Amino acid sequence: MENLLFIINLVAPVFIIVALGFILRRIGLINDNFVNLSSKIVFTVSLPALIFVEVYSIDLKAIFDLQLIVFIYAGTLFSFFLSWAAAVPFIPPGRDRGVFIQGSFRGNFAIIGLAIIANVLGTVSLGKASLLVAAVIPVYNILSVIVLTASLRTEKHINYKSTFFEILKNPLIIAVVIAVPFSLLKIHIPYTLLKTVEYLSALTLPLALIGIGGFMSFSGLQKDSGIVIYSTVLKLIVTPLIASYAAYLCGFRGENLGMIFILFACPTAVASFIMAEAMGLNGRLAGNILLLTTFGSVLTITLGLFILKECGLI
């Protein structure tokens, strides 16, 4: 019971802020324009600042873990193909299948994951977690483009060159690329400049979590309930259970096992809705998967961390 209360106290604040964003949107204190603008600020300014600060402040040689990164890549590919295989028997080819697959494998590790890691594993773990964000986001983007394009069933083809350059221009990737030499070479940053970046980074988690809550809507949830529940079970229960057990068998323990569980247990990323809308797929379904996985992850992440804590694995 003590461990359960401990985990609840650490996880709950993250989702309370999400719920606050939902409430603020319902009562009109924030609107769609705020949600859109805050998301852009987080993605292009404050989150890159957070990642830069965390990578800059760590000893990369000491915390770089190739085995962990390889496992994350393998696990992400596994969850992608598992989601696709799970979709084939039940969801016909078309606009819904691609949305289902993306919603079932693409997690919100950059926001929800980092927030939970900061609370549960401590801010000292954010440096390594930031490297994992930079490692997994390109894979998420490439796999999402593949499955959503395939689902359109048109003569469109993936523009690999354009996709490659879009990934290179990702602000989170740029933040890591800039921060790595600063960290390795111990380059001094003037106090005023570093403090400014730290202030910007402090905006990230509360602003992003409020934006996620403000984005959510229950309208139309019942229409897609079967597919949404199926995707949610796959995203929040099946995949993290398999990934965590595989990580345990591979010898991961403590901080690394905790990060692996949190990464694969995170709810669906907001980017899944944005990409589905942009590519002309079922945006309503994407939004409903985002909604249910976010609220469902309150229970599943809490329970999963409690079990790992009770077993002495983290």
* Residue range 245-303, pLDDT digits in tens: 999 999 999 999 999 999 999 999 988 887 787 777 888 888 889 989 998 999 999 99
**Any idea what DSSP says for residue 27?**
T
Tokens of 3: 């461990």
Counting Cα atoms < 13 Å in the Cβ hemisphere of 126 gives: 23
Distance (Å) of CA 222 to CA 110, 226, 227, 249, 288 = 29, 8, 10, 39, 9
| Burial class, 4, CB count within 10 angstroms (exposed 0-12 / middle 13-18 / buried 19+) | middle
Beta-strand runs (E) in the chain: none
pLDDT, tens only, 169-181:
778 788 888 998 9
pLDDT, tens only, 119-136:
999 877 888 998 898 889
Query: For residue 158, is pLDDT > 70?
Result: no
Using the Cα atoms of residue 68, residue 137, residue 169 and residue 164 in order, give the sign of their dihedral. positive
Q: Which residue, 124, 103, 79, 99, is CA-closest to 264?
A: 79
List domains and CATH numbers for the chain: 2-41+65-125+135-169+203-310 (1.20.1530)
7: confidence class by pLDDT, cuts 50, 70, 90: confident
Question: Could you please report the per-residue DSSP string of 218-280?
Answer: -TTTGGGHHHHHHHHHIIIIIHHHHHHHHHHHTT--HHHHHHHHHHHHSPBPHHHHHHHHHTT
**Any idea what DSSP says for residue 124?**
G
pLDDT, tens only, 279-288:
778 888 888 8
Ramachandran quadrant class, 208 (left: phi over 0; alpha: psi -120 to 50; beta: rest): alpha
Measured torsion, CA atoms of residues 114, 119, 124, 130, in degrees rounded to the nearest 10: 0
The residue ranking higher by pLDDT, 20 or 36, is 20
Cβ density class 195-230: b for 16+ within 10 Å, e for less: eebeebbebbbbbbbbbbbbbbeeeebeebeebbeb
Rounded distance between C-alpha atoms, residue 55 and residue 116, angstroms: 18
Phi (first) and psi of residue 267, to 5 degrees? -65, 170
In this prediction the pTM is 0.85
pLDDT at 254: 93
Measured from the Cβ of residue 77, the count of other Cβ atoms closer than 10 Å reads 13
Tokens of 94: 């078309």
pLDDT, tens only, 71-106:
999 999 999 999 999 999 999 887 899 999 999 999
